[in-house]
A and B are shown apart, each in its own frame.
Chain A
Amino acid sequence: MLKAIKRIYMSVVFLFLYAPIIVLIVFSFNKSKSRGQWGGFTLDWYIDLFKDRQIREALYFTILIAVISTVVSTIVGTIAALGISNMSKLGRTIVLNINNLPVLNPDIVTGVALMTLFISLRIELGFVTMLISHIVFSIPYVILAVLPKIRQMNKHTAEAALDLGATPAYAMRKVIIPEIMPGIISGALIAFTLSIDDFVISFFTAGTSATNLSILIYSMAKRGVKPTINALSTLMFVVVLVLMIIINKKKDKGEDIII
């Protein structure tokens, strides 16, 4: 009896979580433009999607920014984390507290604050400002992912390497970096997903000349419903799903799952 109630409860919650996604996917193959009616199977919306210059451009910007900001923030964040772990206690506390601000602050505040900075400095909003903003909000997460690994690291191994004649750069490459690699990788993954998914901060810092997928979806949804969004959602969902399954399979024997 209790088991049945549990099953029903779980199913209802599942239905609630998945219904919108399933509906989007089903309607991406719907011939009729109406949202409630099934007019037969079609792939037209997918074809439209690839013909749409706006969507192609937004996709290009999204991926380009995600890749650049992930690379930059992972490198800068790792170096910063190594430095922070060697700072005096007071310095470390101050730097980490400031570093936490973009993590704790609501996205909208980070977004308008950066926009205010760029406009006050008379930098025109566009691709560059959007890229800088993505790096700004990604680095703190990289640092937060790398720092615990540095703390767990055995300090004596690096010292031993130096005593045995390794140059600092060599010790860094051969001893320290390999030991904190798991932290660097999860930091990079977090940075990439955050960048791909970001809407609010991009919305305020992109201006009118640049756009990414999230901004495009927002303006399309506001203007009215286009079945091409359904096709776009389905494709994005499938891509992310496949990526996540691969990542989780690889990490299966590792520690925690990355969301």
Chain B
Amino acid sequence: MQRRGRGRIAYPYTVWMVIFIVVPLFLILFYSFTEGDIHNLKDLRFSLNGYKKVLEPIYLKVIGNSFVLAGISTFICLIIGYPVAMMIANTDAKYRNLLLTLFIVPIWMNFLLRTYAWMSLLSPNGLVNRVLLWLGLPKLEIMPGKGAVLLGMVYNFLPFMILPIYTVLSKIDKHVIEAAHDLGGNNVITFMRIILPLSVPGIVSGITMVFLPAVSTFVISGLLGGGKAPLIGDLIEQQFLSSRDWHFGSSLSIILMVMILISMAVMSRIDKSEAEEERRKI
């Protein structure tokens, strides 16, 4: 009785949550299924035009591009980040925290500033090209364009791949690895059969932490892509801020949201089934 009574102090926040979390999402859903003047409720009528527009080839290409670029950058982060996480986990306990902090420090810098830094580094007369020129190598002309966007994604999100993998790797019982060695497993076998499967939860959360912000970004593509490689985020931003087609923008937002929720459900399923499999083995 008393316990239920105390639950009541959460009611004000529940109301707040409905107003500022639930209602806005329903508004987006509502606008995605209507057409007409957004400032005049009477003028709005049911329509699927927002979603039909999404299916136009130019826009499908943009959506495809976002997923491909985010996917590639997530993959690159995994390939670069996994060995880093392993090396940190294998360092002496004395230096481990210092090393880890050194990898985290860059994300303490404002996200926009980090992206802006690459703008000046990659510009035609920027430092990267000066160094290449000095080395007698050909110029790197990826900015503005897809290459620069990819680089910006990897740069900004790499620490988010390293951290969760490191956390999982550092918790692996060292005796398990020793046992594998004692039983005659070489380094490769130990890695493939013991370390890699045990680190799946870290990989899964690393992938989510890189892929999600990458697929929905409009900052990186806006600054480094220069309009040459628009992503779904740019499209949504345009619809709401410049072209004022809220219906199309809302449809895009709903699609982005649904796709992300689905991919997260899939990821957590993988995580769970892997954990169950491990339990069954033991």
Contact = CB atoms under 8 A, between A and B. Distances in A.
Interface of A: 6, 9-10, 13-14, 16-21, 23-24, 27, 34-36, 76-77, 79-80, 82-84, 86-88, 91, 95, 98-99, 101-102, 104-110, 112-117, 120, 132, 136, 139, 197, 199-200, 204, 213-214, 217-218, 221-222, 225, 229, 232-233, 236-237, 240-241, 244, 248, 257, 259
Nearest to A22: B117
Given A218-B219, A221-B119, A222-B223, A21 B114 contact: yes
A77 B13 CA distance: 8
A248 B121 CA distance: 31
Contacts of A120: 27
A106 B260 contact: yes
Contact of A36 (B13, B108, B126, B250): B126
A84 B8 CA distance: 8
Nearest to B106: A17
Interface stretch (B49-57, B196-204, B210-218): B210-218
A101 B110 contact: no
- In the complex, which range does the number of interface residues on chain B fall in? 35 or more
Interface in B87-112: 87, 97, 100-112
A217 B113 contact: yes
Chain A facing B: main interface SS: helix
Contacts of B118: 20
Nearest to B41: A120
Contacts of B9: 79-80, 82-83
B14 interface: yes
A105 B31 CA distance: 18
A43 B135 CA distance: 31
B110 A233 contact: yes
Contacts of B13: 76-77, 79-80, 83, 139
Nearest to B3: A86
Given A6-B87, A20-B121, A36-B127, A233 B236 contact: no
Interface in B1-60: 3-4, 6-14, 16-18, 20-25, 27-28, 31
Nearest to B236: A108
Nearest first, the 6 A-B pairs at minimum CB distance are A83-B10, A20-B117, A106-B216, A113-B24, A80-B13, A83-B9
Contacts of A86: 3-4, 6-7, 10
Contacts of B3: 86
Interface centre among B4, B20, B107 (most CB of A within 10 A): B20
Contacts of B129: 36
Interface centre among A24, A113, A241, A248 (most CB of B within 10 A): A113
Contact of B109 (A6, A34, A36, A236): A236
Given A83-B10, A217-B110, A233-B116, A35 B219 contact: no
Contacts of A36: 125-127, 129-130
Interface string B160-181: 0001000000000000000000
A105 B257 CA distance: 7
Contacts of A248: 101
Nearest to A80: B13
B236 to A, nearest CB: 6
Nearest to A106: B216
Contact of A21 (B24, B103, B117): B117
Contact of A217 (B116, B123, B260): B116
Interface centre among B14, B123, B223 (most CB of A within 10 A): B14
Contact of A17 (B24, B28, B158): B158
